[in-house]
Amino acid sequence: MLDVTPIDEGWILRHDGAALPATVPGCVHTDLLAAGIIPDPFLGRNETDVAWVGRRDWTYETTLAPIPGGHEQTDLVFDGLDTAAEIRLDGQLLGSVRNMHRSHRFDITGLSGRLSVNFRSAYGEAEAVRGRLGERPNAYPEPFQYLRKMACSFGWDWGPTLVTAGIWKRVRLEHWSTARIARVRPIVTVEQGVGRVELHVDVERSRVEAGLTLGARIGGVRAEATVDGTGGVVRLEVPDVDLWWPRGYGEQPLYDVELWLSHEGLLDIWRRRIGFRSVELDRGSDEHGSGFTFVVNGEPIFARGVNWIPDDVFPSRITRERYRTRLTQAADAGVDLVRVWGGGLYESEHFYDVCDELGLLVWQDFPFACAAYPEEQPLRGEVEAEARENVVRLMPHPSLVLWNGNNENLWGFRDWGWEQRLAGNSWGEGYYLGLLPRVVAELDPTRPYTPGSPWSGSWDRHPNDPAHGTHHSWEVWNREDYADYRLHVPRFVAEFGWQAPPAYATLRRALPDEELAPDSPGMLHHQKADDGNGKLFRGLARHFPVPEQGFTEGDFDRWHYLTQVNQARAVAAGIEHWRSHWPVCAGTIVWQLNDCWPVTSWAAIDGDGREKPLYHELKRLYADRLLTLQPRGEGLVLAVINQAAEPWSGRLALRRMSVEGDVLAAADVEFAAGGRAVADVRVPKELEPVGAKEFLVADANTAGNGGGDGGGSVLRALHFPVPDREIPYPRPQFDVSAGPGGRVTVTAHTLVRDLLLQADRLAPSASADRGLVTLLPGEQVTIGVRGWEALDQLDAETARSALYCVEPAR
C-alpha cells in the first residue's frame, strides 16, 4: 500500500549567511516577516521597502533521513513550487522547475541527505526568457508573461508588487511498490436519471510484469476492470441519482467515489466527491446577436456572478476556513457564479470543495491576463503540462462549468496597439484558439470552453462586441457616468465595476499613523488604479455636490461615505438594467468580490474581510425577486424581475412624492411575472416624477408568493429623475435608539437617503447586518450590530456617531 510521509518540519531559509526558521507551505516574504527581517508590506508604504526580496535568489533546506526499506520506490512530491528552482538532494541535481501552477515528482529511491530547493529570482527568470524570445506588450510594466507564475504577484491596479518565492504547497514522500495510481480522469454524465461515471486511470509501475486490477464504488454500485499496460477504465452506472443544482435552483447532493488499485492486495486508493448534472453553454444566434447562456440540467440561468482574485497576495496563507468564509459571504449575497480570474491561480482543492457544497458555479480562467504571451519554448511545454494537470485535477467538481482561455488578451490584441508592436511574433492566440481547446476537448469533453473574456465568437466581429458573447464594460468607470450602463444590453457582462475605499477600520489598521485624507501619502499608495482618485472624484461630482478644491483632511469622513455610496449606486445601475433584460442578457459578473490586501478597489469585501456597502447592496440586486424603475423610451417602466421558480403576482403601490414627504399622486397597479421571468409594468404618466423635488416609490408585498422572500416583506424601487447634487433635500432628521444585543433602531422624520451604520467605527471587530437603506418620513429600520464585546453598553449617542446619510448641499 502506498505510504505518505509529509515533509513540513525542519525547513530553514538561507538569508545573508543565516539560517532562518521556515514554514512549509509558505513563502519567502512570510518567513522574513516572521523572523522580523522585513516590516509588514501591507502597512503604510512598506511595500516599496521590501521590493528587494523579489530581486534575490533564495534557498530552502531540510534533511531527509535514510528511508527504511519495505517499498520498491520512493518519490519526492512537490504540489507547488513558486516558481523557478533547482532541487538537489545530497548535492545531486534532481531537476529544474519553472511553473508555479504545476506539481513536480522526483524518484529518490535509495537517496537521503540534505535537500535544498534553490529559487532563482522570478525577475531574473522572466528577464532571461524575455531576452531569448523578445519583447511582448502588456498592460502593466512588469514581466509577468514570461514565466508561469501568478501574474498579480507583480502588481495590478488593485494589488501590490510583492514578487515572492517559496514552497507554496505541500511536500511529501510517497513510498510504493509494484504500481501506483498516477492519474484519474472522471467523465461524469447523467441521462434520464441514470448517472454514468467513467474513471480513466493511468498507473505507474515499478514491476512491468505484475497483473493489476482496478475496482471502484459509488454507494452500493461497484465495478472492476483490468489494467492494460499502464491504464484502464472503470465504468459505473448509478440509478435514480439526485441532480446537483446551482444554489437557488435545487439541492447540491454529492456522491463519494472510491477507486482502488490491486495486485495480490491493495496498492493504492483514490477518493473524490462528484455530482451529477449537465452543463451547456447556449451560444445560439437570434435577432439580438449571439448569446452566452449557461444551461444547467436543461434550465437556462441568469448568472449572478462575482469575479474572484487570489484572496491574499501570498496564497500559501489562505486556509480552508478562509475559503469557506469568503465563499459563504458570496453565497449569502445571492451570488451563484464565481469567476476565477486569469491573473491569479488554479485555486486550492478547498476552494472548489466549498463551491460544490454551496452550489456556486465556477467559471475557471486559464492563467493568462492582460498581456501578449510568447508561445515558444520553454513556455509552450509548461503551458500544456499545467493545463493537462489542472483540467484533470478539477474535473471531479460539479461546480466547475466553464473553461476560459484568458482574460482580455484577444481584446488587447485588437484594441491596445499590440498587433503593430508584435510585428508577427507569437502572442498567445495559439494557446487560446488551438492548444487549450484541444486539451479540454480531449480530457474534459463534458464542459464548454470559450477562448477568452471578452470574446464575441469570431475575429469577424470586435472581440468586445456587446451583442455577441461576453462583454467587459470598463468605459463607464474610466470615462463615463454610470447612468450610461443603460445604453447597452450586452449578452453577458463578464466584468464591470466601480471603486470605493475599504472600511474605515481597515484603513486605520493599514495606515495607523496617518492623518487620513483622500490624497494623503498612504491613501495614494493603497490606490493602484491609473488616475483612480481622479475617477472617484469625477464620478462623485456627476452625482453629489463636492468641493471645487477637492476633499481635504476635514472632509475625509464625508468623502469616504460618499465614495462607498457611489460604488453601490453604480453597480446597482448596471445590474438592475441588465437583469431587467433577461433573457437577452444572461448574466453579470461584478468586478470584484474580494481583495488581496488593504486597498481602494472595486471589491465588495475589503482586504481585511470587511463588507463594504456594495456587499449588502448585492444582496438586494441578486435576490430572486427585484423591482427596478427603468427609463424606457418616453417614460418609465417598472421591471418586475422574478428568478424564483414560482410565478409572482400581486399589486404594486406607486407613489409620486415630494422630497418634503408629501404624496402628490398614488395608484395601485397589478403585476404578474412568471417563474424565471421578467414582467414590465408601464408607469402611468401622471405618476412620473417631474423636476428636482419629486421622486417615485414602488412597493410590492411578497406575502404568499413563495420564492424564499419570507412572506410579508416589502420590495421597493425608487426613482429620482435628477442627480443628488440637484435635489433640494431637507436636512435629515431622525431618532436613534439602541436596544439589547446591539440592535440600533432609526426612526425617520424626514426623507433619509442612503442611511449607513459604519459599525467598524464603533469597534474594529464590529459589523452591521445591513448596508444602505432609504427611509421615508415616519418609517423605521432596525440594524443589528455584531462582533463587539461591548454591545450591551451601546447607547443611542454612540450609535448615532457611526450613522451617515446623504445630506443637502452645503
Known catalytic residues are 408
Cα 771 from Cα 470, distance rounded (Å): 30
In 3D space, the residue among 241, 226, 260, 258 whose CA is nearest the CA of residue 189 turns out to be 241
Q: Are 714 and 771 in contact (CB under 8 A)?
A: no
The strand ranges marked E within 742-808 are: 743-748, 752-757, 767-768, 773-775, 780-786, 803-804
Distance CA 436, CA 431 (A): 6
Question: Can you tell me which residue has the cell 478644491?
Answer: 549
Q: Are 597 and 313 in contact (CB under 8 A)?
A: yes
Helix 379-394, helix 436-443: angle, nearest 10: 30
**Interior angle at CA 280, CA 279 and CA 282, nearest 5:** 150
- Please return the burial class of 223, using the count of CB atoms within 10 Å of its CB with bins 0-12, 13-18 and 19+: middle
**DSSP H or E run through 676:** none
Q: 718 forms bridges with which residues in the sheet?
A: 697
DSSP result, 431-495: IIIIIHHHHHHHH-TTS-EES-BSB-SSTTS-TT-TTBSEEEE-HHHHHS-GGGGGG---SEEEE
Cα 421 to chain centroid, rounded: 32
Sequence-distant (≥ 6) Cβ neighbours of residue 780 within 8 angstroms: 745, 746, 747, 748
- Cβ neighbours around 237 below 10 Å, total: 12
| CA-only gyration radius of the chain, Å | 28
Going by C-alpha positions, the residue among 274, 278, 263 that lies closest to residue 219 is 274
| Residue 733: CA count within 13 A, CB half-sphere | 9
* Residue 354 contacts residue 327 (beta carbons within 8 Å): yes
Residue 172, CB-side half-sphere exposure with 13 Å CA sphere: 12
Phi/psi-derived region of residue 309, left when phi > 0, alpha when psi is between -120 and 50, beta in every other case = beta
How many angstroms separate the CA atoms of 95 and 465, rounded? 46
- Angle 615-617-621 from CA coordinates, rounded to 5°: 115
Class of residue 538 by CB neighbours under 10 A (exposed 0-12, middle 13-18, buried 19+):
middle
What is the 8-class DSSP label of residue 82? B
Distance between CA atoms of residues 96 and 488, nearest Å: 50
Sheet with 449-450: list strands edge to edge: 449-450, 400-404, 361-365, 337-340, 303-308, 587-590, 492-496, 470-473
Kindly state the helix (H) or strand (E) to which residue 262 belongs, with its residue range. Answer: strand 255-262
Of 3, 133, 105, nearest in space to 97 by CA: 105
Q: What's the sign of the alpha-carbon dihedral 416, 419, 422, 425?
A: positive
Cα gap 141→111, rounded to integer Å: 44
DSSP letter at 582 equals T
